[in-house]
Every structure is written in structure tokens, then in C-alpha cells.
Amino acid sequence: MAGTAQQHTDAEGVGGGVGVTALLVAAARAIETHRHDSLAHDVYAEHFVRAAPACADWPVRIQQVPDGDGNPLWGRFARYFGLRTRVLDDFLLRSVRTGARQVVLLGAGLDTRAFRLDWPPDRVVFEIDRAAVLAFKHQVLTSLSATPKVKRVPVPVDLRADWVTELTTAGFTPAAPSVWLAEGLLFYLPSPTETHLIDTVDRLTTEGSALAFEAKLEKDLLEYRDSSIYTATREQIGIDLLRLFDKGPRPDSAGNLAAKGWSTSVHTPFDFTHQHGRGPLPEPNDALEGNRWVFAHKPRP
């Protein structure tokens, strides 16, 4: 009974609200991992899904989905997350191989890149998220005797609190080149919070640093309420993404970075579908239509 109670306590951080979306993405990574044409492998993902009572009956293989890839949630949406994982994996590894010494995962959630990617020596990965989320992740990975392939530093702090102090206290050095990732994070934040976050990253980075983040450009998210992805996510697993997303106008974070001297490139997910030959393609009333993946670099002099 004590073990069950501990599992329930540690799962609270991912069992509701925005936290449960980390489990959705983990399930998608598990499905991607077991595909014959997988773009990304995460052997830990299915264990997160099975450890959380909120999603114990979710699929972790496409064969467990009655309509397979025809399912908007576990087919198309999961493929989206699989593609996103691969693209951002490549970005992080490319950044550290060209000079970044530190990796900062903002809202790290159930990210396992410290455990599954082959990092160059002498790098460090900082994972910032709420204590309850990191505790759940620690519990599951410890039960699997998982060992990170890089120096990994969890930073248990809410991004609405003074995370900069916590990050620097944990060993982050602004003078060393760094690469930052905000994956599936910014559209849950109010516009001023996003702007402050991006400005803070700019302040904490030196030349040769990089940043990737995901943005949504729709002027009215509710126009897509009846899209197949949002409908399936609500009806099949009870997650109303549109209720969780911030409804206010979004800032032009890519433009703001460019104004500060960063070089930026903005892509649709479909650009990478064509590049990899795998992933979602546009469809009518598409909830992915406004999604953009932004890559920014702070040039060396």
C-alpha cells in the first residue's frame, strides 16, 4: 500500500491540467518507438504511461489502436509528436556538436533526451520543471535503473517563479554557449510570460548559443474546436487542449529575437514531413495549421 500511495503522490504532477499533456506526448513517443519506420526511439516513454493512473489504459503501440493510423489522436497526432521529437533531437545534437556546452530544457516534462541521445563529452543537460513532475520522472527512471548518457541536472522550479536563480545555482554558466528548448510549452503561457521568458533566454545566453521553440499563430484557436485532432483528444482521453492553451494574442517571439540580433528560421511541421518522408500532411480544418517550429541562433562576432 505504501508503494501505491507514493506512486499516486508522484504522479500528481502529471495527472491533471497541463501536466497530463506530458503523458500524451510520452504515449505518442512510445507509439513512434515501436513503428517499423520510427523517426525517434524512446524506450522509457511507455513506462511513464503505465506508471500514471490517469493513462494506464492508453495505447503504447499503434497495433493497440482499433483504427490504427486512421485514428486522429493516436495516428496523425502521435505522428506529429514523433516528427517533432526527431527534429528537435537533431537540433540539440547539432547545436552541441558545433559548440554549445550546456543544454537547458524549459518545462522539461517527461523528456528523456539525457538518457537516450548520444551526447559529446563534457556537456550538461539542465531540466527545469515543477518538483512533482521531476519526482514522477525520477521514480519511473529509477525503477528502470536508467542511467543518463550526459551530466544531468534536474532543476525543480516552476517557470512562474525565480527559475533563473535556481538554474544558475545548479551550475548554469551564462558565459558558456548554450542551447535551449521550449518544446510544447509557450502556447500554454500568457503572452507577457512568453515574452519575459524569451527575453530572459536572450539575457542568459552568449554568442554561439541557440534556441528552439514551438509557437501557434492562429488568431482564434476556437475556430479549430471541431478539428479531428482536438475532438479525438477530448473524446478519447478527456484532454481539452483548447481549454489549456492561453487564448490571448501571441507575441512575435521570432521577430523579437531577430530584433535582438539573433538569426531565426520559422518552419511548419509539414516542411519536415516532406524532408523525412514521414509525418502529418495538411488537411481541412487542421489544428496543426498554425503550428510553427522556430530555430534561432545568436551569432558569434
pLDDT at 14: 76
pLDDT at 3: 39
Residues of the chain with pLDDT under 70: 1-13, 15-17
Q: Can you list the domains of the chain with their CATH numbers?
A: 2-297 (3.40.50.150)
pLDDT at 12: 54
pLDDT by residue (tens digit) across 242-256?
Answer: 999 999 999 999 999
Compute, in degrees rounded to 10, the torsion defined by CA atoms 289, 217, 214, 50.
-60
pLDDT at 1: 30
pLDDT at 9: 39
pLDDT at 164: 98
pLDDT at 301: 76
